[in-house]
């Protein structure tokens, strides 16, 4: 039986794909898991190991054990389901099935945002507000330092009698010329 749709998927993003697929499948009419096992197959591009749709959906579920050595456990850690295989890509094969409209389901999967918990969203918002506060604090400190440096320069120039650019017009001094007294004229006196 020929697959309807074939797609390559990197193992790093297979967990996110599985979570989005679970959300997309939950929106429609729920089909039995056994039927998903025959309608979706993932195959390693290097060793040919096959994982059915039920095992792919297990990636979207929370981990029950810390060290899960099943196929889904290895896939969670972005390894091939077969121990010893070094492949990082799987071919997802979607077979025609009356309960699954794969084109619409995959469209929903591709458009779906990553589902995040409220704690993660709150932490991201807190970090963003802290970054904005730091930028404002840095900008105000920088403006204060620049204003102090300019003020110190102006005061220094004013104290030493120098000119203050754009504020004070420099004075033009004139020198009275004194007639030259020669060396001989002084000896005569």
According to the model, what pLDDT value does residue 69 have?
A: 58
Same domain, 87 and 13: yes
Q: Name the domain boundary from 115, 136, 151.
A: 115
Alpha-carbon separation of residue 183 from 18, 178, 187, 188 (angstroms): 107, 15, 7, 9
Same domain, 101 and 153: no
Of the candidates 178, 182, 38, the one whose C-alpha atom is nearest the C-alpha of residue 98 is 38
Q: Name the domain boundary from 115, 148, 183.
A: 115
Q: How confident is the model at residue 146 (pLDDT cuts 50, 70, 90)?
A: very high
Indicate the range of 31-45, 85-99, 147-161 predicted with least confidence.
31-45
Q: Is the pLDDT of residue 177 over 80?
A: no
According to the model, what pLDDT value does residue 89 have?
A: 92
Give the percent of the chain with pLDDT over 90.
17
Bridge partners for 10 per DSSP: 89
Q: Are strands 50-52 and 40-44 parallel, antiparallel or unpaired?
A: antiparallel
According to the model, what pLDDT value does residue 117 have?
A: 57
Query: Regarding predicted confidence, which is higher, 161 or 13?
Result: 13
Residue 140 lies in a domain: yes
According to the model, what pLDDT value does residue 151 have?
A: 93
**pLDDT tens column, 120-131:** 566 777 788 888
Same domain, 16 and 103: yes
Instruction: Give the span between the Cα atoms of 69 and 91, in whole angstroms.
Output: 22
């Amino acid at each position: 039986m020929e697959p309807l749709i074939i797609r390559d998927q990197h193992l790093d993003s297979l967990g996110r794909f599985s979570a989005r697929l679970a959300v997309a499948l939950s929106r429609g009419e729920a089909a039995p898991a056994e039927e998903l096992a025959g309608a979706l197959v993932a195959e390693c591009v290097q060793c040919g190991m096959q994982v059915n749709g039920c095992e792919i959906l297990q990636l979207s579920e929370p981990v029950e054990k810390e060290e899960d050595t099943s196929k889904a456990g290895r896939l969670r850690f972005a390894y091939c389901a077969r121990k010893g295989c070094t492949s990082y890509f799987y071919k997802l094969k979607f077979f025609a099935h009356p309960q699954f409209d794969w084109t619409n389901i995959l469209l929903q999967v591709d458009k779906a945002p990553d589902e995040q918990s409220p704690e993660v969203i709150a932490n991201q918002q807190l970090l963003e507000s802290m970054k904005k506060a730091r930028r404002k604090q840095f900008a105000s400190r920088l403006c204060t330092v620049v204003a102090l440096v300019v003020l110190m320069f102006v005061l220094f120039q004013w104290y030493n009698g120098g000119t203050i650019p754009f504020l004070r017009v420099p004075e033009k001094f004139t020198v009275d010329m004194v007639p030259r007294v020669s060396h001989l004229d002084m000896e005569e006196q």
